[in-house]
Amino acid sequence: MNLEFAGAIHESPLRGSAVIPMSLLEVKNLTKHFGGLAAVQGVNFAIGRGEIVSLIGPNGAGKTTIFNLLSGVYTPDQGEVRLDGEDLVGRRPFEICRRGMGRTFQIMQPFPHMTVLENVATSGLFGRAPKASMKKVEEEARELCRWVGLGEKAGMFPRNLPVADQKRIEIARALAIKPKLLLLDEVMSGLTPTETAEAIKLVRQLRERGMTIFLIEHVMKVVMGISDRVIVLHHGEKISEGPPRQVAHDSKVIEAYLGEEMENSEEPSC
Amino acid sequence: MNRSFSWKKGFFLLFLILFVLGFPRLVDAYFLHLAVTFFLAMILASSWDILARTGQVSVGQAGLFGIGAYTAAILFNRIHLSPVLGMVAGAMVSVLVAALLGYLTLRLRGIYFSITTIAFAEALSVIWLMTPGFTGGAMGLSTPPLFGGDRQQAYYLILGILALTVAAVWLIQSTRLNFAFTAIRENEEVANVMGINPTRYKVLAFMVSAFFTGFAGGFYSHYNTYIIPYEVFGLGISIACLVMPIFGGLYTITGPILGTIIVKVIEEYLRVTVSYGHQIAYGLILVLVVLFMPEGVVGLWRNKISPLFRPASR
Amino acid sequence: MEWADFLQSFANGLLIAGLYAAVTLGLTLVLGVMGIVNFAHGEMVMLGAYNTFWLFTLLGIDPLLSIGLSGLLLFFIGLFIYRFTIRPILNDPPLNQLLLTLGLSIFLQNLAMIFWKTDSRSVITPYSGISLSLGEVHVGLTRLLTFLIAVGLTLLLLLFLYKARPGRAMRAVSENNTASWLIGINVQKTYLLAFGVACALAGAAGALVSTVMYTFPMVGFKLSLKAFCILVLGGLGNIPGALFGSVILGLTESFVGTYVPEGSGWAEGISFILIMIILIIKPTGLVGTRRE
């Protein structure tokens, strides 16, 4: 497989390291209000090249809002967002996409009247800078479909495909833009244990190829298993950050979850 | 893109082209006139479809049609601009207006966009009635018969423009524009995040659509020799623009063409049977299509969604 | 002189606002309860107007008395239309709903043209010409009565929505139809009834329209556009908003008619210009909490 991802850097993974590495993404004082409510308030964090960082928090904590702020769907009221040194605040989503930020959506939204291949080709055609020829994009789209496990289904329409495959479309679509940073929004939810294991494998393979990944996840087992670092959000504020084990034992985090999710992650899996 | 070329299709197309080119010599004035009105309608239908591909459902194309019509008529009457140049001018002015309108309505979704376009056409109608000094007001404007009454020349002109329109649709459909338009139509927000600039493509679609609609308007004003605001800015034109492609099959090349032929035949039949209200067919067709055949005539015979790439093997 | 003109203009605007409100009530109801913009609502008004005209011309029934009859007729027409054209598309994308109701509108407009030609009809009652004077202001009796009846219709509707069980069901459904279904409200029946009531209101409004304006096949379309303007002005799907919007539109038209040179011609365009300005600046309408 000769897939190249932009921004690939051959450094050893920084798993378990407490040192903040050279940052691909820098977020300072990120704030967003809706009406009178602060959905996200004063959030600071950084993500280094090649890291896998998870964003967790109870429902309504503001995680998807952060993704929307990063990808330009919302404009921050305050704060800075820098990708590879470039300031992203105020830029429109398609510009941010072309600067190397790819994302999936929590509620899967493939284009219904396009085949799987066409869905992936669309972002390949428009999301990359510089633009590539149709032929090249089609080839790469096919390759991507194969790589995520949709090789035979490339000609099918998304609505006929099961949940796991639709998630694959989302991922392939995001990868087609050759992102520097990949935002995965709850790709593991709704998957069977087998599918979850496959998804984890995929995320690891992505990192091996140099991809930097920022993921929102509810499935604690996954979070503990693949993250270099975990950021915890509660009521729009960051309440904890660090390696998975450290965060899991942080009393603030446990309090925030009221013990629910944490207990679930300790239970033996079936 | 792999397009398998079939000889049957090629032959049929060739025959069609020859027939259409030779048509004027085969028929009398009435059918020639009918053909001209059919071609005019096809242009309106196809250009409406271009705009609809980006999810912008306009119920006010009459606004652009009327601008094209009046630009040509006013320029002829004031500075004796030749009819064909007048039509081009009409097209250009329509494009400018559409660019502005398209820009202003970018954030409008679905029904709100449609309502705004209706308001647009009606507002123009009122403005026209209230400025008779410039526009001729309710009395309308006259121009001498196009090409001195030579229907054959008119036929070839409008045929040429129709060919251009179809070429434009074909271009859109066979390049990456198709992906952009479709993505925006299906989910504008996601398309944006995937790197597609919605502004650029939505305004572009509006401008291209306006060019042909405006040209058609300019043609109409010279061909018909007389235009009034009530007619060229009227709801009837706007409705005609959308019924034909919807009936025939949206987002295709043949759909608007086919839809126009069938709808126009019904309309012509009704026009001779009832003096007013012959557009009743339009309303009925819209209702029936939405209820029973949302994919249109083309969809009926295809019976499934056709992929944008035509795969080499199935 | 100026003050009298102003008061007259204000009074005229208010009176016509009452009529506009009556026209818009049903549209608001359907939008609020079902989330559908019924493009054919104006044609319901048109049918009510024609009904009143014919009852008056052929049977001599006074227009203001036949309001109930027009309302009743349109109620049943509304039920019929709902059952066969609206119900199937309840869950369709809004585009389809737009096209269907638009098609209905065109169909009915042209049907009216076929049956009744395009001539403008007037309903002239013995008391049509009577004008009352309240200080400096002259008010046509018919207009006044129309206004009062429109107010009455509004109050009736509000009473229905707040005191009657089916009305309260409609309000519940308009806020949250899943929750309503869970607590036992028959959502389907509520939709059906709401549509019927909306058309009945339109029919009644049509009766009023026939006394104050000319009746012709396109009158519904003209009023539809004003109703859309009011929706956009006053909030989509809520009644107080519709009243607010009606007053704004009525007064604006009236003042433009009085103070702008050749204003009566320009006043016709006010609703379109308002629609465009408001939607362009605020795509969800002036007050608009966007439905869904």
**Concatenated DSSP letters of A67-86:** HHHHHTSS--SEEEEEETTE
pLDDT band of A210, cuts 50, 70, 90:
confident
A166, A72: one domain: no
Report the residue of chain C nearest B242, measured CA to CA. Answer: C99
Provide the pLDDT for residue A14.
Answer: 45
Measured between beta carbons, which residues in chain B are less than 8 angstroms from residue C118?
276
Say if A129 falls within a structural domain: yes
Report the residue of chain B nearest A172, measured CA to CA. Answer: B194
**With 90 as the cut, is the pLDDT of residue C134 above it?**
no
Q: What is the pLDDT of residues C68-111, one digit of tens each?
A: 999 999 999 999 999 999 999 998 888 889 999 999 999 999 99
How many other C-beta atoms lie within 10 A of the C-beta of residue A202? 18
Closest to B183 (Cα-Cα) out of C113, A93, A245:
A93
Closest to B86 (Cα-Cα) out of B220, B207, B201:
B220
What is the rounded CA–CA span in Å between residue C230 and residue C46?
18
pLDDT, averaged across chain C: 89
Say if A200 falls within a structural domain: yes
What is the rounded CA–CA span in Å between residue A179 and residue A172?
11
Q: What ranges do the domains of chain C cover?
A: 2-217
How many other C-beta atoms lie within 10 A of the C-beta of residue B106? 17
pLDDT, averaged across chain B: 89
Neighbours of chain A (3+ CB pairs under 8 A): B
Considering A121, A152, A176, which residue would you say is the last residue of a domain? Answer: A176
Provide the pLDDT for residue B190.
Answer: 94
Chains A and C touch (3+ CB pairs under 8 A): no
Q: Name, of A107-116, B86-95, C140-149, the range with top average pLDDT.
A: B86-95
Report the residue of chain C nearest B185, measured CA to CA. Answer: C95
- Give the contacts of C59 (CB within 8 A, at least 6 positions apart): none
Provide the pLDDT for residue A12.
Answer: 41
Q: Name, of A61-70, A261-270, B17-26, the range with top average pLDDT.
A: A61-70
**With 90 as the cut, is the pLDDT of residue C26 above it?**
yes
Contact at 8 Å (CB) between C116 and C50?
yes
What's the domain range around A129? 109-176
Say if A13 falls within a structural domain: no
pLDDT band of B308, cuts 50, 70, 90:
low
Evaluate the omega torsion of the peptide bond into residue A130 and state whether it is cis, within 30 degrees of 0.
yes
CA angle B245, B249, B251 (to 5 degrees): 85
**With 70 as the cut, is the pLDDT of residue B5 above it?**
no
The residue written with tokens 């969809």 in the block is: B299
Instruction: Supply the Cα-derived Rg of chain C in whole angstroms.
Output: 19
Distance from the B74 Cα atom to the nearest Cα atom in chain C, whole angstroms: 22
Q: What is the mean pLDDT of residues B145-162?
A: 90
Neighbours of chain B (3+ CB pairs under 8 A): A, C
Provide the pLDDT for residue A227.
Answer: 92
Classified as helix, coil or strand, A18 is coil
Burial of A3-33, coded b for 16+ CB within 10 Å and e otherwise, reads: eebbbbeeeeebeeeeeebebbbbbeebbbe
Say if A16 falls within a structural domain: no
Report the residue of chain A nearest B200, measured CA to CA. Answer: A94
Provide the pLDDT for residue B26.
Answer: 80
Chains B and A touch (3+ CB pairs under 8 A): yes
Q: What is the mean pLDDT of residues B25-46?
A: 91
**β-bridge mates for residue B124, sequence order:** none
Measured between beta carbons, which residues in chain B are less than 8 angstroms from residue C112?
277
Considering A176, A207, A226, which residue would you say is the last residue of a domain? Answer: A176
Provide the pLDDT for residue A262.
Answer: 52
Provide the pLDDT for residue B123.
Answer: 94
What is the rounded CA–CA span in Å between residue B233 and residue B123?
9
Q: What ranges do the domains of chain B cover?
A: 25-235
Provide the pLDDT for residue C209.
Answer: 94
Provide the pLDDT for residue A76.
Answer: 93
Q: What is the pLDDT of residues A13-27, one digit of tens each?
A: 444 444 444 689 999
pLDDT band of A265, cuts 50, 70, 90:
low
pTM of the model: 0.89
Token pair of B118 as six digits: 């209706």
CB contact B129 to C (< 8 Å): yes
Contact at 8 Å (CB) between C200 and C45?
no
**With 90 as the cut, is the pLDDT of residue B4 above it?**
no
**With 90 as the cut, is the pLDDT of residue C129 above it?**
no
The residue written with tokens 């899991």 in the block is: A248
Provide the pLDDT for residue C286.
Answer: 66
Classified as helix, coil or strand, C146 is helix
Q: Name, of C120-134, C207-221, C271-285, the range with top average pLDDT.
A: C207-221
Provide the pLDDT for residue A8.
Answer: 40
pLDDT band of A256, cuts 50, 70, 90:
confident
pLDDT band of A1, cuts 50, 70, 90:
very low
CA–CA distance from A13 to each of A55, C178, C245 (Å)? 18, 49, 62
Residue from the list B1, B182, B195 with its beta carbon closest to the beta carbon of A111? B182
Output C253 or A248, whichever has higher pLDDT: C253
CB contact B85 to C (< 8 Å): no
pLDDT band of A163, cuts 50, 70, 90:
confident
Considering A150, A176, A202, which residue would you say is the last residue of a domain? Answer: A176
Provide the pLDDT for residue A10.
Answer: 36
Say if A149 falls within a structural domain: yes
**With 60 as the cut, is the pLDDT of residue B21 above it?**
yes
Q: What is the pLDDT of residues A111-135, one digit of tens each?
A: 988 999 999 999 999 988 788 888 9
**With 50 as the cut, is the pLDDT of residue B10 above it?**
yes
- Give the contacts of B86 (CB within 8 A, at least 6 positions apart): B71, B72, B73, B75, B76, B218, B222
**With 90 as the cut, is the pLDDT of residue B61 above it?**
yes
Q: What is the mean pLDDT of residues B218-247?
A: 94
Count interface pairs B-C at CB distance under 8 A: 131
Q: Do C106 and B129 touch (CB under 8 A)?
A: no
C216 CB burial (10 A radius; 0-12, 13-18, 19+): buried
**With 80 as the cut, is the pLDDT of residue A196 above it?**
yes
- What's the length of chain C? 292
Quote the number of domains for chain A: 2
Token pair of A22 as six digits: 């050279």
Measured between beta carbons, which residues in chain B are less than 8 angstroms from residue C108?
283
Measured between beta carbons, which residues in chain C are less than 8 angstroms from residue B112?
279, 283-285
Distance from the C217 Cα atom to the nearest Cα atom in chain B, whole angstroms: 10
Kindly give the residue spans of alpha helices, DSSP state H, lying in chain B: 7-26, 29-52, 61-79, 83-104, 110-130, 132-135, 151-174, 176-186, 188-193, 198-224, 229-232, 235-248, 254-273, 280-292, 296-302
pLDDT, averaged across chain A: 85
Q: What is the mean pLDDT of residues B214-236?
A: 95
Q: What is the mean pLDDT of residues B254-270?
A: 92
CB contact B171 to A (< 8 Å): no
Measured between beta carbons, which residues in chain B are less than 8 angstroms from residue A114?
179, 182-183, 186, 307-308
Provide the pLDDT for residue A2.
Answer: 41
Q: What is the mean pLDDT of residues A102-108?
A: 90
